[in-house]
Amino acid sequence: MKIDGRFWLTKKGENFLGSGRIELLKRIEQSGSINAAAKEMKMSYKAAWERINQMNALADEPLIERQTGGKGGGGTKLTPYAHELIATYERFSELHRQFIERFSQAGDSPEHLAKILNRVFLTTSARNQLLCKITNISYNNLNALITMQLSSAIKLTSSITSKSMQSMNLSVGDDIYAIIKSSDVKIVTTPPKNVEATNIIPATIESIERNEDSSEVTLSIDERHKLVALTPLEESETLTIHQNLFALVSFKSIIIGS
């Protein structure tokens, strides 16, 4: 038996955004054509238009706009509002995935599920909360090093005091959260050499939001995991979307939550 659930954002009691509609919007943006996007998704042009009209009817602003003339002879593109909706949906969808994944650990045991429910709502101001599994614990004087598996390819290491380790009663195989403040994530284009006690994480820039003095950079670690870094504005001026780089996180900057 497996706990599962579909994710939709509704508005005025009606389905507004789901995975299929988000995919349609993305393909329209990529191809510049509703017809091409519909063919890629193996649906009719009429069906694609119906989905767009259903979204537009509920949206506060239009989601697509027509372009005329130009080198390509015109086409269709998404509005800035549509891009905001996609980003919002994907953030909620990732939280929903983590929520369901957490519940799935209960298996067939309602009692286990009750325990998970008692601690699933972890409240913290840190932007990054990554669900990991402990694969190794070692001790170095007054500190404990916890190695955690984030994905099949990515491991993280956290350094906490031995007393904290004992009070949390952690063991290999436990599921825990690696909690990282966005200001503790450093971005570099080349991995440093001879660096100690630092996690070096390959990543790709997904988005950059800039204000007067700083930038919030969202990094994609893999298809499921993201990392948010807060950097000074001048350090982000040369960064671009889809750029491959590395995120550096000190062992001591990863707080453990369970």
pLDDT in tens, 40-77: 999 999 999 999 999 999 998 999 988 765 444 458 88
Indicate the class that CATH gives domain 9-96. Answer: mainly alpha
C-alpha closest to that of 200 among 239, 165, 242, 153: 153
Which residue stretches of the chain have pLDDT < 50? 70-73
118 exposure class (CB count in 10 Å sphere: 0-12, 13-18, 19+): exposed
Q: What is the pLDDT of residue 148?
A: 94
What confidence score (pLDDT) does residue 75 get? 82
Quick: pLDDT tens for 127-158.
788 888 999 999 887 889 999 999 888 999 99
Provide the residue ranges of all domains of the chain, joining segments of one domain with +.
Answer: 9-96, 182-249
3-state secondary structure the chain: CCCCCCCCEEECCEEEECHHHHHHHHHHHHHCCHHHHHHHCCCCHHHHHHHHHHHHHHCCCCCEEEECCCCCCCEEEECHHHHHHHHHHHHHHHHHHHHHHHHHCCCCCHHHHHHHHHHCCCCCCCCEEEEEEEEEEEEECCEEEEEEECCCCCEEEEEEEHHHHHHHCCCCCCEEEEEECHHHCEEECCCCCCCCCEEEEEEEEEEEEECCCEEEEEEECCCCCEEEEEEEHHHHCCCCCCCEEEEEEEHHHCEEEC
With beta carbons less than 8 A apart as the criterion, state whether 58 and 11 touch.
Answer: yes
Percent of residues, the chain, with pLDDT higher than 90: 48
pTM: 0.55
End-to-end CA distance of the chain: 25
Q: Which residues pair with 149 in a beta bridge?
A: 133, 155
User: If you classify domain 182-249 with CATH, what class do you get?
Assistant: mainly beta
Residue appearing with tokens 């042009």: 45
Closest to 190 in 3D by CA, of 173, 202, 182, 198 = 202
